[in-house]
Chains A and B, each alone.
Chain A
Amino acid sequence: MKLGVITFPGTCDDADARIAVSKVAEAVPLWHGDSDLKGVDGVVVPGGFSYGDYLRAGAIARFSPVMESVIRFAGEGGPVLGICNGFQILCEAGLLPGALLPNKELRFVFKQVELEVVTTATPFTSTCAVGDRLSIPAKHMTGCFFGEVPEEQVVLRYAEGENFNGSQDDIAGVMNAQGNVMGLMPHPEHAVETLVGGSADGLKLFEGMARVAVA
């Protein structure tokens, strides 16, 4: 089973995403200018500052050749996980509801945050139970979630006192109506080894993704 990890110019978390993916599947590098998804069973859109985040975070990356293929792949039910800038890109692409605004304090923040699992009705959290807490690092300046989202599409919330960016209703991660596309601002790919990630909780999302990609 193969999971692709996209690299755009300005992506900086693709290497960690490939390491995380390689713990559950074969990691396949995908390039922004190449519309070929190389037969992968799932796609990770990692974090960073694609195309310099010019105009708006994710606005230009959304029109890259690889994203046209990802939009098609997602439409066919393929699992797609967007992390941080990847979440912003998936929102801009219309694959996920809502948009990300600058943090309420206008500062880049890097901290370990506690998240609560709101639903397990998506492959990504199928390895968790509702109410589980995940300890995962967040690092971003444009992570204040805003948008009209049905409650059943909210996957993760910042735990009480953890919503540092001003996100509406403490939303940290959402999915599409079908549940095969998910995005979150915190970085599960940085939390796959207890030695360096503060926890290995992030691995659960990749394990869940791999579970479904096989099916």
Chain B
Amino acid sequence: MRARVLIRPKAGILDPQGVAVERALPALGFAGVANVHVGRLVELDVEDEAQLDDMCRKLLANPLIEDYEIQAVEAASA
């Protein structure tokens, strides 16, 4: 299975990257931007998708400070 794991800062946690991007966009003339958060994307092929959650909790994310979301990606490209 091709999987995509989205990792983002937990709500309410200081996200200086999100804040920096949110401030930079209006400076470039893009108005009406709010609630910007910057996270991480991990893509991987796994034989046993049942292990994905464990992988996320032990390594890919730090559950103390990050939320993660596992998505299935259709048909792995060659």
Nearest B-chain residue to A94, judged by Cβ: B64
Interface of A is mostly: loop
Contact of B64 among A99, A105, A166 (CB under 8 A): A99
Contact of A106 among B16, B62, B64 (CB under 8 A): B16
Q: List the B side residues contacting A102 at CB < 8 Å.
A: 16-17
Stretch at the interface among A55-63, A129-137, A194-202: A55-63
Q: List the B side residues contacting A99 at CB < 8 Å.
A: 62, 64-65
B residues 15-72 near A (Cβ < 8 Å) are 16-17, 20, 59-60, 62, 64-65
A101 to B59, CA, bound (A): 16
A106 close to B20 (CB less than 8 A): yes
B16 close to A147 (CB less than 8 A): no
Q: On chain B, which size bracket covers the interface? A: 10 to 19
Q: List the A side residues contacting B20 at CB < 8 Å.
A: 106
Task: Report the number of A-B residue pairs with Cβ-Cβ less than 8 Å.
Answer: 33
A88 to chain B, nearest CB (A): 10
Q: Does B14 contact A (CB under 8 A)?
A: yes
A56 to B62, CA, bound (A): 8
A99 to B14, CA, bound (A): 12
Q: Does A207 contact B (CB under 8 A)?
A: no
A79 to B13, CA, bound (A): 31
Q: Does A38 contact B (CB under 8 A)?
A: no
B59 close to A104 (CB less than 8 A): no
B62 close to A104 (CB less than 8 A): no
